[in-house]
Structure formats: C-alpha cells, structure tokens
Chain A
Amino acid sequence: MTAQAQFSGGFDNAPVQSSHAFRAAMNVMARPGEIRTLAGAQPPAPLSVAAGTLLLTLCDPDTKVCLAGELDTDAVRRWLTFHTGAPFTDAAQADFVVGAWQALLPIGQYRIGTAEYPDRSATLIVECDGLSAQGAQLSGPGIRDTARLSLPDIPALQANAALYPLGCDFFFTSGATVAALPRSTQISAEV
C-alpha cells in the first residue's frame, strides 16, 4: 500500500459527512430491515464503502476493533489506524467487529453485555454480497407489521435474539448500502 492510499479515502468534511452517515446508520438501526445508502469514505479493498464509512463514523481511540478473516490486511489496518486511531483487538474484547459472515463465526465469541449493562456488547459489521428486502421475516421494535431482509444465517441470529436484552447488534453492508438487525428483532424463517 502506498502512503497516498493510506492517508486518502477519509472524510473531506468530517462533521457533515459523519452526520449524514450517522443519520443513515440510526435510521436502519431504528427500522430493522430497511436498506439505506451509506457513503462518504473510500476505504481500501476489500472493505466496502458502507463498512468503511460506518467505521469512520463510530470508531475512535475509545473503541476496540476486530478485523475478521480476509479483511484483516495491512492496508485496512493502516487506513483505519490513520483515520480513526482505534486499537485492534481479538474477538472476545471487541466493540466493533468487521468481516464476512463465515469469518465472523462463531457468533457466541463476542461480547453480549451484562445483565446490568446490556449496552456493553459488540456491534458486528457483516460484509455481504448483496442486501435485499426478501428472505427472513422480521418483527419487533421499529417494524410496523413485518419486514423482510436477506440474512446470512437465520438460526444463529435467532439464537442471538433469544439472549435479549443481551446480545450483539448487527449492521449488514454491501457496496454503499447498509441495513441493520438489533438484538430486539424477532426473526422467523421465510415461509
């Protein structure tokens, strides 16, 4: 990786671009199943635009990040370190975990919070090949009746939801699009 690539690709105007990025992230987290555009950063491959933008918006020296599988490259590490200063850590301690679904397994290894502090849990950013409003049926807070979202693994996510109010929260990213699945969402297999 050239120094040029390491230093570029961040926000040109951090206050404004991160406010737009956060609005998209908040809207999808508040409305599970909804798919929104999330762009602004140009992270090095294989990190997607949406995942890179999300990391720049939410991570800083206070958050421990774990890169899983193929995403754990020198280029990604150096880019994230330069733009966020976030320390890298292992799966069991991470606040944010990024990776493809297969590389993230098993889901049980991440922090799920404690009974007194359920917010002290990991947020997983799952890189997907595509996002679409079909597949698993979602219901719960943020959803009027039901919603649908293409989920990578229904049983594992149902097991996470069963831990409520503990559990991990998920962002799904693909290209410049994002969707989310908080632990509060009930999931049923497609019918």
Chain B
Amino acid sequence: MSDYNFAYLDEQTKRMIRRAILKGLAVPGYQVPFASREMPMPYGWGTGGVQVSAATLTPEDTFKVIDQGADDTTNAVSIRKFFENTAGVATTEETEKATVIQTRHRIPEAELTEDQILVYQVPIPEPLRFLEPRETETRKMHALEEYGLMHVKLYEDISQHGAISTSYAHPVRVSGRYVMDPSPIPKFDNPKLEMDAIQLFGAGREQRIYAVPPHTKVVSLDFEDYPFEATKADHPCDLCGAEDSYLDELIMDDAGNRMFVCSDTDYCRSRRAAGHEGRLAKEDAA
C-alpha cells in the first residue's frame, strides 16, 4: 500500500463524484456535470473512467481493465497498475472473477452478473455534439427531447450509403427518454447494454458522468424499414474458432494475408484453454 489516500483521490473529490453517480443512476442516460480532476495520466487515456473507478472501488474488489477488449495493452496495463499501487486492490484478467471492470470501447463477451460493475471510459459523451457544437443548444435539445436532428443524420446515412453507416458509438435511447452515446463501442455490443450489471460512464476531459442501471431499456436508434443490426466481421476467430465474438482484423504480411481474432482476449484465451481451436491455432502455437 502506498502513501496515497485509498484509490488516489481525496475524500471530498470522491464524494462529489459519488453524488454525480447517484444522480446519474436516478436519471438514466442524462449527463451529470462533475468537477473532473487532473489525473496522473493525460486526457484521452481514461481519466473519466479512472475517477469513476476510484470513487467506486472498495478494498475487497477485484479489478479488471480492458482496452478494445484486451487486457495487455499499454492503457489497460497502466491503469491496472495505477490501482494496484494506490488502492491495493486485487486485479485479474478473467472477466468472471472481476467485480469492477473498467473498459475502453468494448463490452466483454461473457455475460456480466448482478455483482459486477462496468465502468466506461468516454471521449465525447454528447451524442449530438458532431451535429450541434454548442453545449447550450445540445442541453436544450435534451431538455426538450428534441432528437429530430439525430434521426435526420441517420436518414442521410441511409440515403447516401444505403445503410446507417455508424459502426461504433451508435446512439441509443435510454429508458424511453435520453439519447445517449454508449461510448465508442462497436454496434455489435449495443444489444449487451441491457444487462444485469450497473454501467457507469466517465468522461474526464468533458467533465460528465452518466449511468445505466441494471435491466434498463436501451434501444439503438433505427427506422422501421431499416432496423438496427449488430454487425461483426463475417468470420470465425482464427485462434479459438468462436463464431459469436467481435473480431479484430490483423494484416499478416505484404501478400494480403490476414487473420481475424477475438477482440476480447480473455474470452479467446478461456476458449482455447477449453480446447477450442480456430484455423490458425496450430500456427500460433508453433
């Protein structure tokens, strides 16, 4: 244990964040402003998620961090180490064993339980921001439930490309009221937003916290004749053979060879440990 206060942040900051989380849970999908602090990592590295995790963690928790599904990337490793050092919590890479999971841009493949909390790192929390740059206006649009602009954007996608072209951060409507940015998760993950775990979203640079309680109705925006589709690469995983997981595409050489692997490294590892094999599993071992 270090000389820092438990989980780095001082108690008054944690109280401020905790009050924001409670209001966020009471009004699902609404972005609660909070006084985001400077953290010992740059904005864009998950400072919002880190502050929400710091206010949420207890010493008994087991903490997991994923970045695009992977436990072993720089961002995930450094945030995991940060809380090992400042909170002394146990950490894990196994989704089932974690009680608090901080994530950047993915929802784990394994179904989360009532006893788990999922904390998202959010870059731009405002789903209307690229359509209307002024905060005063977007706030009014949320207040008036005026989401026509978003539907026009989705309609223009269809008229230009024949389909809704957002492949990630597909906007959702939470509990029939607020339109929310689910953070840049692939739209493959959108159906998983209705889950048993508590979901908390933290945007450090933009100073917003929002939340989705368990079993909350989360609907991806679409049209009757162009229904929402959760898409993924049409391949099985080349390492574990999974047909149902979200895949990353890797270029293997200059000759155009490529492989598809699960983006959720823990899901892929546990499937391979259970004996599942994909097309290139043997080569990988060699």
Of the candidates A20, A58, A142, A164, the one whose C-beta lies within 8 Å of that of B25 is A142
Which chain A residues numbered 80 to 115 have a C-beta less than 8 Å away from chain B? Answer: 114-115
B198 touches A22 (CB 8 A): no
In the complex, A63 Cα to B15 Cα: how many Å?
10
Of the candidates B6, B26, B217, the one whose C-beta lies within 8 Å of that of A29 is B26
- Which one of B51-59, B102-110, B248-256, B273-281 is at the interface? B51-59
Q: How far is the CB of B24 from chain A (nearest CB, A)?
A: 8
A115 touches B175 (CB 8 A): no
A183 touches B27 (CB 8 A): yes
A14 at the interface (CB under 8 A from B): yes
Q: How far is the CB of A159 from chain B (nearest CB, A)?
A: 16
B142 cross-chain contacts in A, Cβ below 8 A: 116
Q: How far is the CB of A110 from chain B (nearest CB, A)?
A: 14
Which chain B residues numbered 14 to 54 have a C-beta less than 8 Å away from chain A? Answer: 14-16, 18-28, 30, 32-33
B178 touches A142 (CB 8 A): no
B134 cross-chain contacts in A, Cβ below 8 A: none
Q: How far is the CB of A107 from chain B (nearest CB, A)?
A: 15
Of the candidates A19, A58, A114, A140, the one whose C-beta lies within 8 Å of that of B175 is A140
A123 at the interface (CB under 8 A from B): yes
Range of interface residues on A (Cβ < 8 Å): 35 or more
A191 cross-chain contacts in B, Cβ below 8 A: none
B26 touches A26 (CB 8 A): no
Across the interface, name the chain A residue whose C-beta is closest to B174: A141
In the complex, A20 Cα to B216 Cα: how many Å?
24
What per-residue 1/0 map shows which CB atoms of A52-85 lie under 8 Å from chain B?
A: 0000011110110000000000000000000000
B151 at the interface (CB under 8 A from A): no
In the complex, A182 Cα to B216 Cα: how many Å?
13
Q: How far is the CB of A118 from chain B (nearest CB, A)?
A: 5
Q: How far is the CB of B125 from chain A (nearest CB, A)?
A: 14
B7 touches A15 (CB 8 A): yes
A169 cross-chain contacts in B, Cβ below 8 A: 22-23, 26
Of the candidates A18, A57, A121, A141, the one whose C-beta lies within 8 Å of that of B28 is A141
B19 touches A63 (CB 8 A): yes
Q: How far is the CB of A116 from chain B (nearest CB, A)?
A: 5
Say yes or no: A18-B215 contact (C-beta < 8 A), given A23-B56, A57-B18, A119-B23: no
Q: List 19 A-B residue pairs with CB atoms under 8 Å apart, sorted by A's residue number.
A: A15-B14, A16-B6, A19-B14, A20-B58, A26-B198, A27-B198, A30-B25, A30-B213, A57-B18, A58-B19, A59-B15, A60-B15, A63-B19, A116-B143, A119-B20, A123-B22, A141-B213, A143-B215, A182-B25
The 10 closest A-B pairs by CB, nearest first: A182-B26, A15-B6, A142-B213, A115-B143, A119-B23, A141-B216, A30-B213, A19-B58, A169-B26, A141-B213
Residues of A in contact with B (beta carbons under 8 Å apart): 14-16, 18-20, 22-23, 25-27, 29-31, 57-60, 62-63, 114-119, 121, 123, 140-144, 164-165, 169, 182-184
